[in-house]
Amino acid sequence: MAHHPRPTRPLNLKRRFALTSLGVIFAIALGLGWLLSHMLTQRMLQREGEVTMDFVQNLLTTDNSSGFLSHPDDPQLRDRFLSSMEHVTSMREPVRANAYRPDGTVAWSTDQALVGRRYPVNDELDDALKGELVVHSGRLTADGPAKAEHEGLAARASFFVESYIPIRDPRSGQVLGVMEFYKVPVQLNEAIREGLIQLWLACAASAVGLFLSLYWIVARADRTLREQQARLAEAQTLATAVELAGAVAHNLRNPLASIRVSAEMLQDSVSAAAETAEHCQDITSAVDRADRWITELVRVSQAPQLQDEAVSMGPLVRDCLEEMGPEMLRRQIRWLAPETDPEPVRAHPAMLRQIVLSIIANAIDAMPEGGDLVAALGDAGDRCALRITDTGHGITEEAQQRLFRPFFSTKSGGLGIGLALVKRMVNQWQGDVTLAPNAPRGTRVEILLPRAGERGAATVA
């Protein structure tokens, strides 16, 4: 049993980028927001601790009572220290304040039950006794105090800040003890909350702005890539069409030559009737016209190697209409040739002739029951305009959008390489071709070509 490979699904660049970038940017925004919020909180708490440390250090230095922590038995130092602590107890925010001796024993506290107690495990106190300012925050839980020194606290709020401030000797700088402040900073907590809200809003806005900017860039790149891919596919298809046109032209010449020889033999036959001779003449003329078209088609397939020149549009269009005149007469089509001769345009005579013949042939096929075909020349700014209109069955909007694509045709059994080649050649001459419905019925084809100016003499095809 043959194994058929699963078809490769086309890459949806925009959707894949949107999903990937959204996840990456969201993760970066979360990480950055958490890091900045943590830094902001710590910085504000550290600043609060530094202010408190300056206040306490200045207070104890002013009355020279800091020595009480290292000499708690000195009554004078004790009185001065207790007098200083009255300023501390009058502060609104501290819920509890403790003064520690160098060995970690509580020398003074707003809770008299803690005086004389010592907590063997207190890392923050150990760091403060080494001369470091230690500030940390936390939240009270319903399970009870997380640390032994928090025992007996009445929580007025879940968020608290605990500062361990080293007290130094003003002269020697030696650490004499540590002051601990346990606070519920309502104003600081509100400031931190507002700062975090603004920080997270800024992170969210930055993430959204970054995502939208990158998505716009990728969406534009995706659209450009799709357009380039479509043009590449169209160019490849058109190249195939040109090769096919050359192959068809080469293969048609041999049977056309045989038909022409046979018609000439019948025409030269002595027994040929007058009516047969007339039909043979028509066959010969049609074969000559087809051979001429094939020659021009082969030259069209070599378009990149052909140089454009100055071409007079009036005589060329009238000659094409005269050549298709017998066919239009047979189909009861009335035609009108342009009477004006505008300035020459830049094009290749043989290719431009093939273009006009192809458009006229399409218009004739669109009017099987007869009608009117009008060719007009005019000015369109710095370019010359050729407009060919018919009163045929017209085109649909869908067909109008696809007519210039290779291998698309509205004719049954048509290859659809005509208008694709027309557009390719006109674009090579820096021109443009459009096809639209003609009011009240039919189709209008307009070809715009740049004027030749004074570059070279006009060539009449």
Give per-10-residue mean pLDDT for the chain (461 aa): 52 76 83 81 81 84 81 83 79 76 86 84 86 80 61 60 86 86 74 81 86 85 82 66 60 66 67 65 70 63 65 91 86 88 85 83 85 91 90 73 51 49 79 85 90 54 43
pLDDT given for residue 2 in this prediction: 47
Q: Classify strands 371-380 and 333-336 as parallel, antiparallel or unpaired.
A: parallel
What pLDDT is stored for residue 331 in this prediction?
A: 85
Cross-strand bridge partners of residue 383: 380, 450
CATH number of 305-450: 3.30.565.10
How far apart are alpha carbons 266 and 268 in whole angstroms? 5
Distance separating alpha carbons of residues 82 and 192, to the nearest angstrom = 33
Q: How far is 280 from 277, CA to CA, in rounded Å? A: 5
pLDDT value of position 1: 46
Position 148 scores a pLDDT of 63
Question: Would you kindly state where each structural domain of the chain is located, as residue ranges?
Answer: 13-184, 305-450
* The predicted structure's pLDDT at residue 42: 79
Are 124 and 164 spatial neighbours (Cβ–Cβ below 8 Å)?
yes
Tell how far CA 250 is from the center of its chain: 47
CATH second-level architecture of 13-184?
2-Layer Sandwich (3.30)
- pLDDT for position 137: 78
* pLDDT at 414 (0 to 100): 38
Residues 338/375, Cβ–Cβ less than 8 Å: yes
Structural tokens at position 357:
């013949």
Q: Break the chain down into helix, strand, coil percent, rounded to 5.
A: 55, 20, 30
Q: What was the pLDDT predicted at 385?
A: 92
What is the spatial distance between Cα 331 and Cα 368, in angstroms, rounded to a whole number?
Answer: 7
The pLDDT of residue 234 is: 64
d(CA 395, CA 114): 99
The CA-to-CA distance between both ends of the chain, in Å, stands at 62
Instruction: Report how far residue 379's alpha carbon sits from residue 386's, in angstroms, rounded to the nearest whole number.
Output: 9
